[in-house]
Chains A and B, each alone.
Chain A
Amino acid sequence: MLDQKIVHDVLEKAMSRGADFAEIFAEETIANSIVYLNQRVERSTSGVDFGAGVRLFYGTKSIYVFTNDLSRDSLMNLAGAAAQADASERRTAVQDLRKLNVKSPHIVSVYPDTVAKSDKVELLKQVDRGAREQEELIAQVEASYADVKQHVFIANSEGLMVEDERVRTRISANAIAARGNEKQSGYHAPGTFGGFEFYDKVKAVDVGREAARIAGVMIRADYAPKGTMPVIIDNGFGGVIFHEACGHSLETTSVARNASVFAGKLGQQIASEVVTAIDDGTIPNEWGSTVIDDEGAPTQKTVLIENGILKSYMIDKLGGRKVGLESTGSGRRQSYQFAPTSRMRNTYIAAGKSTLEEMLATVKNGLYAKKMGGGSVMPGTGKFNFSVLEGYIIENGKICKPVRGATLIGDGAEVLKKIEMVGDNLAFAQGVCGSESGGVPTNVGQPAIKVSEILVGGR
C-alpha cells in the first residue's frame, strides 16, 4: 500500500526530535450498507475510507496525527508536525523494515463487494418476510445489511511492516410488535469475520423470525417482579454484562489509570472458581477475530480469568509500557482516524459442565433472562444496569410466564463472585463496542450462568 522507502523516511522524520517509537497505519476501506424499512429501501450507501495516521511515543506520552493524503510530501509534513509536538534528548534509530507475511486462518469464499446490491436487498426482504410470518402483531420491521473490506498497512520503527485484509458482513432485524397503544421490540443481528457465504449458514428469514419472536413474546408479557433473586442468564448476548462490567476494567486503558477495580490484582481470586474467562482473537471467522491487531501484533487467545484467578489484562503497546507488561495483541481502532488502545475481541466466559435444566432445578423463585438488551456501566466502579430483552419467571425449577421491563442492577466485581453454576452451551453474539479508539467489532459470549442473587428492577 505504501512504498518501503517512503515509510522508512517518514518514520525517521517522525523520530527526529527524540521520540523512541514511531508507527504508521494506512488504511483503505470499502463499506456498503442498506437499510430496508417498511418494505422499501430507505437508504443505500457505499464509500471508501482512505488515510493514514502516524503515532509517536516519548516514553509513555503519545502523539497522533492523521491525513487522507498519502503522498510522500503529505506524509513527511505530517510526521514533521507530529515530531514538533514534543522533544527529548534521546535518539532512537529506525530499524530496517522487514516485511512480515501473515497467513489468515479465516476463509472468505464470496467477497461481499462481488455480490450484486439487489442480492443484498433480497436478503433484507427475507428478513422482513420472516418477521411478518412469525408474528401477527408485527407492525414494523427495519432490516439492515452492512459489509466492509478493510485493507491495512502497518509499519513501525522496530522494523515491523505488515499488511492485512479484514472482511466482515452483518445483517440485522429490528421488529416492533404493537397491540393497542403498546409497543415492544425484538432484535437480532448476526455477523461474521468472513464473506457473503455466511448467509448460506445463517438464513435471513430466520433472523427476521427471531426478532419477531422476541417482540411477540414481550408484547404478551406482564411486568417483571422486583427484588433480589437468583438469576439465570442464558448464553450468547448474556455475555454483554461481563463485557461491559468486567471486560472494560481488564483493558490496560483503565488499569493504567488506576481506574479499574482489577488493577494490581493479577494472580488473585477475583471470581468464583467455576469462572474461566477468555478474550480470543483467533477463532475462525468469528466477528471479533483479527489476524493481527491494529499495531501489527499477531492476535492471541488471552486467558483473562482461570478458575476464578486473574491471569492477564488485555494489553496494547502503549498500555504495556504503562503497566510494564507485553502486548497481548489487543491494540485496536475503528480506523486511521483513531490512535489504537487496548480493546476486546471475542470475549467470553468459557463453557462449564451444567445443563440449563440442572441450573433451573436449583431455583425456587427467580428470573430467567433468555436474551439481554443494552445497558450502562459507571466507569471506574463497575456498577451496571442492564435491561432484559426477553425474560421469564422461574418457579420451582420451571420456566414460567414471560416478563417485561426487567433490569439487572449490580456490580461487575461482585457478580463475578456470585456465579454459582456455568452451563455447557457456550454461544457468541455480535456487537460493535464503542470506546476511546472508536467502534470496533467485538463478540460477547457465554454459556448460561446462574448468579446466586442479583437485584432485579421491575415495576
Chain B
Amino acid sequence: MHQDKFNSLLDFARDRGVDLEIYYDSGRSCSIKVFEQVVEKFQLSEPAGVGLRLIDGGRVGYSYSEKIESDALKHAFEEALANAQLSEVEKHKELVNIAFTPAELSTFNPELEKVSVSDKISVAMAIEKSAKDADARVKNVPYCTFSDGSGEVRVMNTKGVNLFHRSNVAYAMGMALLQDGEEIREGFDYIVSANFNELDGAQIGRKAVERGVAKFGAKDVPSGDYPVYFDNRTAATMLSTFASVFSAKNVQMGKSLMAGKLDKEVASPLVQIVDDALLADGHVSRPFDAEGYPSSTLPLVVDGVLKNYLYNVETANKEGVKSTGHAARGSFKSSVEIAPSNMFIKKGETTPENIIAGIKSGIKITDLQGLHSGCNPISGDFSLSAQGFFINDGKITHPVHNFTVSGNFIDMLKKVTRVGTDFEFMYPMGPSCFGTASLLIENLSVAGK
C-alpha cells in the first residue's frame, strides 16, 4: 500500500549512490484474556513500520520509522546515512542481488480474518468453563487466552528485489491451577492453527486439567543417572533453547559448540534435524528471508552428521559460501541477524507406548523450568528444574517432582536411543518455530533426594 513511497525512496537512494534496503512489516492482532467468564483484557492492534538498512561505501547504517510518509522516510534515510558514517567499513556486507520466483506458500487463510470477536471470546471462555467442569479440584484458571494475528512483510532494495508475503495464525492457551489439600498443581495446554475450527477451547481446558491432575501425589526421585524420556513438547523446548548453536554468526564468533564440526558426528544416527522455511503448513513458513533471499529446505543434521549452518548474506560472504536464507529481524527496529525458521527433529519409528515399554527404570519429563538461567547455549551445558513421571519395568508408576536434570546438549543428542512417532510443532516464537517427536536419552544425571 505504500509501494509508491518506497519506490521513490529507492530512487532517491540510487541518486545518492547508496545501496538501500526497505523492510516493511505490518499486521493486525487481537488478544483476549478471560477470567471468571468475563473478558478481563481485550486488545486490538494494527502495528506497522519500516526499517531501513543502507550500505554506503562498506559502512552500514540503520534507522526505522512508524511514520510512513514521504518526508518521514527521507528523514529516516538521512538518519541511516548519518549512522553509517559512525560505523567501520566492512567488506562482507551487501544487499541481496538475485532474481528468483518466490515459492507459493499457503500461509494465509482468508477465513480466519472473518471470524467475529464474539466467536473468539467464546473460545477463551470455553477453556475456562471446560477446565472448571473437568475436575472439582480446579481452583481457578488464571490464564485463558485467545489471540490471532496476520502479518505482512515487504522487502525491497536498490538491487531490484521487491518481495511480498503474508501469513496469519491463531492461538488459544489455558492454564489451570488445581488444589488437593495442601498440594497445588498446574496444567497447561494450547492449540496453534490458522484454521479457527481447530481451536477447540473445551479440549484445551480438559487437557490442561488432565496434565495438572496427573501431577497429584508426586514423589521425590533418588539422585542418579537414569534413562530420560522427554515428551515432544519438552524436547522441542530443549531444541529451541540450543538452536542458536546452528547460527553461522555464532560459529564465526567462536560462540557455538558446533564450530569445526561440519561433516562430523554431532548426534546419534537416529537424529535428523531440518530447518525448512518452505514447509507446507509450517507456522512460520516464508518464501524469502528478512533481506529478500530465497528460502530453502536445509538439512542441518543427517543421520547424526552435521551438514550445514544457518547463514545470512554477510556470514555467507565471510566464508565464500551462499546464504541459506536465514536472515531475520526481530522487528523492523532491529538489525539483520540470523534465526531458524521451522526447525525440527524428524519423527522416528517407535510409538511412545513402545518407548516406555522398553524402559526398565527411568524418568519421563513433561515440564522444564529455568530455561533462561539454567542453560548455557555457548557451552551446551544445562541444569534444569523438571517434573514428570517415574517409569518402572516399562510402565509409568507415579509422578515425580523437585529434581533437576543436567547434561550437555551435544552429549544428549549423541545419546538419543529412540525417536517417537508423536511429532508436534510448538507455538511460533518470533520468526522461528520448533518441533520434534518425543526423545529417549540413554542416560542423564538427575539430582533429586
By a beta-carbon cutoff of 8 Å, the part of chain A in contact with chain B is: 28, 34, 40-41, 43-51, 61-69, 74, 78, 81-82, 84-86, 117-118, 121, 337, 339
Q: Mark B65-96, 1 if CB is under 8 A from A, else 0.
A: 11110001001100110110111100000000
29 contacts between A and B (CB under 8 A): A28-B67, A43-B62, A45-B62, A45-B83, A46-B80, A47-B65, A48-B65, A48-B72, A48-B75, A50-B65, A50-B66, A51-B47, A51-B66, A65-B43, A66-B43, A66-B47, A67-B46, A67-B47, A68-B46, A68-B67, A69-B48, A74-B46, A85-B44, A86-B39, A117-B82, A117-B85, A118-B86, A121-B86, A337-B47
In the assembly, what is the distance between CA of A46 and CA of B62, in Å? 7
- Chain A nearest CB from B52 CB (Å) reads 9
Given A45-B62, A45-B64, A51-B66: A68 touches B86 (CB 8 Å cut-off): no
- The answer on a CB contact under 8 Å between B66 and A62 is no
| Pairs of residues from A and B, 6 with the lowest C-beta to C-beta distance, nearest first | A47-B64, A50-B67, A50-B66, A44-B83, A65-B44, A67-B46
- The answer on a CB contact under 8 Å between A47 and B63 is yes
- The answer on a CB contact under 8 Å between B46 and A69 is yes
B38 contacts A by Cβ under 8 Å: yes
Given A61-B39, A86-B39: A78 touches B67 (CB 8 Å cut-off): no
- The answer on a CB contact under 8 Å between A47 and B79 is yes
- Chain A nearest CB from B73 CB (Å) reads 10
Q: Mark B317-338, 1 if CB is under 8 A from A, else 0.
A: 0000000000000000101000
Quick one: which of B42, B79, B117 has the most chain A CB within 10 A?
B42
A49: B residues at CB distance < 8 A:
66
In the assembly, what is the distance between CA of A34 and CA of B49, in Å? 21
Quick one: which of A63, A68, A339 has the most chain B CB within 10 A?
A68
- Chain A nearest CB from B39 CB (Å) reads 7
- Chain B nearest CB from A112 CB (Å) reads 13
- The answer on a CB contact under 8 Å between B83 and A46 is yes
- Chain B nearest CB from A298 CB (Å) reads 27
- The answer on a CB contact under 8 Å between A82 and B67 is no
- The answer on a CB contact under 8 Å between A64 and B65 is no
B47: A residues at CB distance < 8 A:
51, 66-68, 337
In the assembly, what is the distance between CA of A118 and CA of B79, in Å? 13
- The answer on a CB contact under 8 Å between B117 and A84 is yes
B45 contacts A by Cβ under 8 Å: yes
In the assembly, what is the distance between CA of A121 and CA of B87, in Å? 11
Which of the residues B38, B48, B62, B88 comes within 8 Å of A68, measured between beta carbons? B48
B61 contacts A by Cβ under 8 Å: yes
Given A47-B64, A48-B76: A61 touches B38 (CB 8 Å cut-off): yes
Extra A-B contacts (19), CB below 8 Å, given A62-B41, A69-B48, A82-B44:
A41-B87, A44-B61, A45-B333, A45-B335, A46-B83, A47-B66, A48-B67, A50-B66, A50-B67, A64-B41, A64-B42, A65-B43, A66-B43, A67-B45, A67-B47, A78-B46, A81-B44, A85-B42, A118-B86
- The answer on a CB contact under 8 Å between B49 and A68 is yes
CB nearest neighbor in B for A40: B88
- Chain B nearest CB from A377 CB (Å) reads 16
Given A69-B46, A81-B44: A44 touches B87 (CB 8 Å cut-off): yes
A117: B residues at CB distance < 8 A:
82-83, 85-86
A85: B residues at CB distance < 8 A:
39, 42, 44, 117
B88: A residues at CB distance < 8 A:
40-41
In the assembly, what is the distance between CA of A404 and CA of B83, in Å? 39
In the assembly, what is the distance between CA of A66 and CA of B87, in Å? 35
A44: B residues at CB distance < 8 A:
61-62, 83, 86-87
A339: B residues at CB distance < 8 A:
43
- The answer on a CB contact under 8 Å between B79 and A46 is yes
A81: B residues at CB distance < 8 A:
44
- Chain A nearest CB from B6 CB (Å) reads 16
B85: A residues at CB distance < 8 A:
117
In the assembly, what is the distance between CA of A78 and CA of B117, in Å? 14
CB nearest neighbor in B for A116: B82
- Chain B nearest CB from A333 CB (Å) reads 13
- Chain B nearest CB from A390 CB (Å) reads 22
CB nearest neighbor in B for A42: B87
Within 8 A of A (CB), among B234-257: none
A63: B residues at CB distance < 8 A:
42-43
In the assembly, what is the distance between CA of A47 and CA of B163, in Å? 23
In the assembly, what is the distance between CA of A86 and CA of B65, in Å? 33
In the assembly, what is the distance between CA of A68 and CA of B332, in Å? 14
Within 8 A of A (CB), among B295-342: 333, 335
Given A48-B76, A85-B117: A337 touches B39 (CB 8 Å cut-off): no
B46: A residues at CB distance < 8 A:
66-69, 74, 78
- Chain A nearest CB from B69 CB (Å) reads 9
- Chain A nearest CB from B225 CB (Å) reads 27
In the assembly, what is the distance between CA of A65 and CA of B117, in Å? 13
A65: B residues at CB distance < 8 A:
43-45
CB nearest neighbor in B for A84: B117
- The answer on a CB contact under 8 Å between B68 and A68 is yes
B68: A residues at CB distance < 8 A:
68
A86: B residues at CB distance < 8 A:
39, 42
CB nearest neighbor in B for A63: B42
CB nearest neighbor in B for A338: B43
In the assembly, what is the distance between CA of A295 and CA of B82, in Å? 36
B40: A residues at CB distance < 8 A:
61
- Chain B nearest CB from A20 CB (Å) reads 16
A121: B residues at CB distance < 8 A:
86
Quick one: which of B64, B65, B66, B67 has the most chain A CB within 10 A?
B66
- The answer on a CB contact under 8 Å between B333 and A47 is yes
- Chain B nearest CB from A226 CB (Å) reads 20
In the assembly, what is the distance between CA of A44 and CA of B41, in Å? 36
- The answer on a CB contact under 8 Å between A68 and B83 is no
CB nearest neighbor in A for B64: A47
- Chain A nearest CB from B141 CB (Å) reads 15
CB nearest neighbor in B for A64: B43
- Chain B nearest CB from A17 CB (Å) reads 12
- Chain B nearest CB from A352 CB (Å) reads 37
In the assembly, what is the distance between CA of A165 and CA of B40, in Å? 32
B80: A residues at CB distance < 8 A:
46
In the assembly, what is the distance between CA of A50 and CA of B42, in Å? 22
- Chain A nearest CB from B80 CB (Å) reads 8
Q: Mark B415-434, 1 if CB is under 8 A from A, else 0.
A: 00000000000000000000
Q: Mark B357-387, 1 if CB is under 8 A from A, else 0.
A: 0000000000000000000000000000000
In the assembly, what is the distance between CA of A66 and CA of B68, in Å? 16
- The answer on a CB contact under 8 Å between B64 and A66 is no
In the assembly, what is the distance between CA of A12 and CA of B38, in Å? 25
B49: A residues at CB distance < 8 A:
68
- Chain B nearest CB from A276 CB (Å) reads 36
In the assembly, what is the distance between CA of A47 and CA of B39, in Å? 35
- Chain B nearest CB from A321 CB (Å) reads 14
In the assembly, what is the distance between CA of A439 and CA of B257, in Å? 34
Quick one: which of B65, B76, B86 has the most chain A CB within 10 A?
B86
In the assembly, what is the distance between CA of A339 and CA of B38, in Å? 18
CB nearest neighbor in A for B79: A46
In the assembly, what is the distance between CA of A78 and CA of B46, in Å? 9
Q: Mark B202-224, 1 if CB is under 8 A from A, else 0.
A: 00000000000000000000000
Which of the residues B39, B45, B63, B66 comes within 8 Å of A45, measured between beta carbons? B63
A62: B residues at CB distance < 8 A:
41-42
